[in-house]
Amino acid sequence: MVAAIKQPGWIRGALGAIVGAAFGYALVVALRKASGLPAIQTEQTGYPQLVVAMVTGPLGFLLGFGCFDYWLRWAVGAPTIPEDHSQHGARSWKDYFKFNTDHKVIGVQYVCTNFFFFFVSGLMAMLIRAELAQPGTQIVDAGTFNGLFSAHAAIMIFVFIVPVFAGMANYVLPLMIGAPDMAFPRLNALSFWMLPIAGLMFVASFLAPGGAFDAGWTGYAPLSTGAPLGQSFFNLGVQFAGASSIATALNFLVTIITMRAPGMTFWRMPLLVWANLSTSLLVVAATPFIAGAQFMVLFDRVLHTNFFQFAGGGDVISYQHIFWFYSHPAVYIMMLPGFGIISEVISIHSRKPIFGYRLMALALIGIVVLSYSVWAHHMFVAGMFSWLRVPMMITTLLIAVPTGIKIFSWLGTLYFGKIHTYSTAMLFALAFIVTFTVGGISGVMLGMVPIDIHVSDTYFIVAHIHFVLFGGSVFTIFAGIYHWFPKMTGRMYDERLGRIHFWGTLVGTWGTFLPMHWVGMDGMPRRVADYAAQFGDWNLLISVFAFILGAVQLIFLYNMIVSWRFGPRAEGNPWRGKSIEWLVSSPPPIFNFDEIPRVVGGPYEYGVPGARHAILAGEGAEVEAPEPSVVST
Amino acid sequence: MMGRLPIAKMLAATIALAAVISAVMVSINWDGQEASTAAPKIDDLLNVMIVLSSFVFALVVVMLAYALWKFRAKPGDESDGEPIHGNTRLEVAWTLIPTIIVLFGAGYSWVVLNEIEKPADDPLIIDVFSQQFAWSFGYPENGGRYTQGELHVPLNRQIDFKMHAQDVIHSFWVPEWRIKKDNVPGITTTAIVTPDKLGTYQLICTELCGFGHASMRAKVIVEKPADFRKWVAGVKDRVPQPYKESIIRDTETNPVLDGAGGA
């Protein structure tokens, strides 16, 4: 027992959590006593003793779990051994449940954690659709309903879509650029372990007095500043997810900029690497804004500051400006990595170089720049300055241009190729192109102020965001999971089950989200537990398709679990790819490469006679490496 | 490379598909009944966008379908496709043409926006008060008369709704008018509507405002000006004090920007 407490791990982590939480609680109680206040405060927006404990408890866990051990030893001048790799790599399944610095282990930890929350949040979606199958309230009351859709969105966004891309890139990206690991492996591990904390806080908010946070995932003030304790769980969960996200983005930036293998110029990077470079640029600069906005809400709630309290001189609308200054770029944070995945999958399975590679990379950068100038299109009817609307409309519509470039370039890649559709990843990639186009079109319509005035905050918005985030992001996530499943697990998945999952998901997505456009335009507002009887039939239809969509995800879950355990062994390069991750075994060796590979050409040189992207150690004699400065795409 | 593709046939298929989709989509009345002067303008813009979007969607579908039909690998074919890296003309085209389309859309939207928000000479001012979870209305031109849960407006006169939220944000939406605006605590927001059809409509709250959000509705009655005058004269209630104070307290959303004094 004493030994277990000395070693980093779950026991010390649990102890750290308890001690941390007790310390936070005691600190508040003591300070309140010393100030002559009642020790325990239970105003619905308050509970400072619990709010502080919710910060110190998780920090205690991270400390106990071992996330800071190396740094602390180094900081106090104790001996550290940089070459000690005992926490690196998975030698048994138990290593996946430990603090581990191997980017491949962390990648798997991310993806599994994210999909756990995907299914938790998916269940909430099923409850939401069950309630909405008929007009009137049958299954949950209106307050619980508000909590359900708020938690559904928060979990899907902050602990599924945003981090699952980081998880996949964590696994694949260092391999792709020929790096032995991420630039900061310990920071990488810390980033991961902050994430389940955020997810658990969102879920645990249902246990808080007054129920889960119920002001929507947007948490607009002053509804959020006056909401019960559950809202503080959201405010704090976002901090942990956001800190995780920012640290990972920094890690990606440094890794991509400084750790590419010799010969890998920027114009030889696979588009997935370009996509994560762009995404990371968005994350590091935008995410602090939502962190700030949620802190301000928390301070308004607990400390009675007046950031958003109009009666105290605060400004209600400024919450929305700060929130959307993150949350619109966040839409691209949730989309650009998916664009990268689609480029990899389509190029490999049509055996063709990416059409217009450089313009594809520049389009990503164009989206990054433009996405900082469109946030107020979420606020056309919010009562902000009316002169801000037209400039924001123009930038919003212009962002369709780089997105269109990507769509047409993927289509161009297919032409004169040899298209293989045996892989479920390719099916999702092709379906993504059409489904995402619909989301893009409704996005352009929403960008137009007069149309937005009518459909803002209706089911049209719900339809749009699900076409973009489910038909867009989640389709690319499935494409990526199927594509790299052999690499990550060393096993092949079942393509027959993959196909059933694909077709079920495609039909379910269109059937669920397409009719939502219609009911929205015809007068059904969003975020309502009850609605006018005239929309009853459409909503029943939507719910039926939603249940189909939900059910086929269980096939995916079964396929992944069973194939991981019993699937046939995967070869190193089952899809005959050219980028470096396919040149190593499946799964790759613990330290990726015996010797850093040399990059000698572009990543998509299919059909070019004798073209190579990279040369691994031991085969250097075959091809002579050209000067690294020579650009070839 | 382009020469080897049946461009004319693909274009014809795209136009045909776009025409079919547009015809079906435009014939459907998506937004429901039109009951304000803004409604037909917004619906026309929507229809123009539906036609343009149908073309884009059809183009994507035709391009994808042709590629899948023509360039599918035969079973067992392990060879690679042709090493085509791009085509500058094509890339310029699909950068410029969408730019022109969206800039046209932006310009058209701007024109429509200016038309539907054009101020009239003698608008009728009505105050809107929202509070969890009820609407009420003040008629300042009629001696501060006040109604709860029921809004009456005269036909064919521009109405400037001046909105005041008492607690959290609410949003004023009458789907048949196509007009929506948030009511924000601390500021006065304005919505401009000219109802042009008699009838009874529903005012719907569209900004999440708490557990009663779904049921936060009010009745809207558009009646002939003479009927309106008669009705309003018969109203007994007057705007209560806290609401009067919110009118004085709330600042305008769009203060005059130039000049020190402002509004």
Position A629 scores a pLDDT of 45
Helix (H, G, I), strand (E, B) or coil at B16: helix
Q: How confident is the model at residue A621 (pLDDT cuts 50, 70, 90)?
A: very low
Over residues A413-432, the pLDDT tens digits come to: 999 999 999 999 999 999 99
Position A623 scores a pLDDT of 47
Say whether A353 and B83 touch across the interface (CB within 8 A): yes
Position A1 scores a pLDDT of 64
- Calculate mean pLDDT across residues A301-316: 92
Say whether A416 and B82 touch across the interface (CB within 8 A): yes
Residue B145's φ and ψ, nearest 5 degrees, are -65, 160
Over residues A271-295, the pLDDT tens digits come to: 999 999 999 999 999 999 999 999 9
Residues of B in contact with A412 (CB under 8 A): 86-87, 90
Position A619 scores a pLDDT of 60
Say whether B71 and A350 touch across the interface (CB within 8 A): yes
What whole-number distance in Å separates Cα of residue B80 and Cα of residue A349? 10
Position A46 scores a pLDDT of 86
- Calculate mean pLDDT across residues A17-38: 95
In terms of CA atoms, which chain A residue is nearest residue B57? Answer: A437
Tell me whether B203 touches chain A (CB under 8 Å): no
Q: All domains of chain A, ordered by start, with CATH?
A: 2-75 (no CATH), 100-566 (1.20.210.10)
Residues of B in contact with A214 (CB under 8 A): 210-211
In terms of CA atoms, which chain B residue is nearest residue A140? Answer: B211
In terms of CA atoms, which chain B residue is nearest residue A412? Answer: B86
Token couple for A562 = 């069973």
Position B179 scores a pLDDT of 95
Question: Global pTM?
Answer: 0.94
Position A41 scores a pLDDT of 87
Tell me whether B90 touches chain A (CB under 8 Å): yes
Say whether A457 and B171 touch across the interface (CB within 8 A): yes
Closest listed residue to residue A259, CA positions, set A555, A551, A593, A32? A593
Helix (H, G, I), strand (E, B) or coil at A295: helix
Say whether B99 and A401 touch across the interface (CB within 8 A): yes
Say whether A415 and B253 touch across the interface (CB within 8 A): no
Position B1 scores a pLDDT of 61
Instruction: Pick the range with the lowest mean pLDDT from A147-156, A445-454, A619-628, B168-177.
Output: A619-628
What's the distance, CA A283 to chain centroid? 11
What whole-number distance in Å separates Cα of residue A313 and Cα of residue B115? 35
Shortest CB distance from B81 goes to which of A458, A606, A611? A606
Q: For the stretch B128-138, what's the b/e string if a residue is b when 16 or more beta carbons lie within 10 angstroms of its beta carbon?
A: bbbbbbbbbbb
DSSP string of A361-422, one letter each residue: HHHHHHHHHHHTT-GGGGGTTTT--GGGHHHHHHHHHHTHHHHHHHHHHHHHHHTTS-B---
- Calculate mean pLDDT across residues A377-382: 95
Shortest CB distance from B168 goes to which of A223, A405, A633? A223
Q: Please say if the pLDDT value at position A622 is more than 60.
A: no
Position B262 scores a pLDDT of 36
Q: Please say if the pLDDT value at position A627 is more than 70.
A: no
Q: What is the DSSP letter of B119?
A: P
Closest listed residue to residue B42, CA positions, set B102, B98, B100, B114? B114
Tell me whether B233 touches chain A (CB under 8 Å): no
Q: What is the mean pLDDT of chain A?
A: 93
Tell me whether B10 touches chain A (CB under 8 Å): no
Token couple for A566 = 């019993």
- Calculate mean pLDDT across residues A353-357: 96
Say whether A433 and B213 touch across the interface (CB within 8 A): no
Say whether A397 and B103 touch across the interface (CB within 8 A): yes
Over residues A185-238, the pLDDT tens digits come to: 999 999 999 999 999 999 999 999 989 999 999 999 999 999 999 999 999 999
Tell me whether B208 touches chain A (CB under 8 Å): yes
Over residues A571-620, the pLDDT tens digits come to: 999 999 999 999 999 999 999 999 999 999 999 999 999 899 999 876 64
Residues of A in contact with B211 (CB under 8 A): 141-143, 146, 214
Q: Please say if the pLDDT value at position A532 is more than 70.
A: yes
Token couple for B68 = 């899948």
Shortest CB distance from A222 goes to which of B68, B94, B168? B168
Predicted-complex ipTM score:
0.94
Token couple for A593 = 């490469």
Nearest-CA distance B94 → chain A (Å): 6
Preferred mutation among A385, A444, A516, A605 to probe B, highest tally of B CBs within 10 A: A444
Amino acid (1-letter code) at residue A594: D
Position A82 scores a pLDDT of 79
How many inter-chain contacts (A to B, CB under 8 Å) are there?
267
Position A483 scores a pLDDT of 97
Chain B, residues 118-147, CB within 8 A of chain A, namely: none
Helix (H, G, I), strand (E, B) or coil at B193: strand
Tell me whether B73 touches chain A (CB under 8 Å): yes
What whole-number distance in Å separates Cα of residue B78 and Cα of residue A576? 9
What whole-number distance in Å separates Cα of residue A393 and Cα of residue A373? 10
Q: Please say if the pLDDT value at position A137 is more than 80.
A: yes
Say whether A421 and B68 touch across the interface (CB within 8 A): yes
Preferred mutation among A145, A448, A518, A524 to probe B, highest tally of B CBs within 10 A: A448
Residues of B in contact with A454 (CB under 8 A): 31, 42, 175, 178-180
* pLDDT tens-digit profile, chain B (263 residues): 667 899 999 999 999 999 999 999 999 898 889 999 999 999 999 999 999 999 999 999 999 999 999 999 998 898 999 999 999 999 999 999 999 999 999 999 999 999 999 999 999 999 999 999 999 999 999 999 999 999 999 999 999 999 999 999 999 999 999 999 999 999 999 999 999 999 999 999 999 999 999 999 999 999 999 999 999 999 999 999 999 999 998 888 765 544 443 33
- Calculate mean pLDDT across residues A481-488: 97
Token couple for A345 = 């999958």
In terms of CA atoms, which chain A residue is nearest residue B85? Answer: A355
Amino acid (1-letter code) at residue B259: G
Position A625 scores a pLDDT of 46
Element (H, E) at B127: strand B124-131
- Calculate mean pLDDT across residues A157-176: 97
Residues of A in contact with B81 (CB under 8 A): 350-352, 416-418, 606-607
Preferred mutation among A315, A348, A453 to probe B, highest tally of B CBs within 10 A: A453
Tell me whether B258 touches chain A (CB under 8 Å): no
What whole-number distance in Å separates Cα of residue A299 and Cα of residue A293? 10
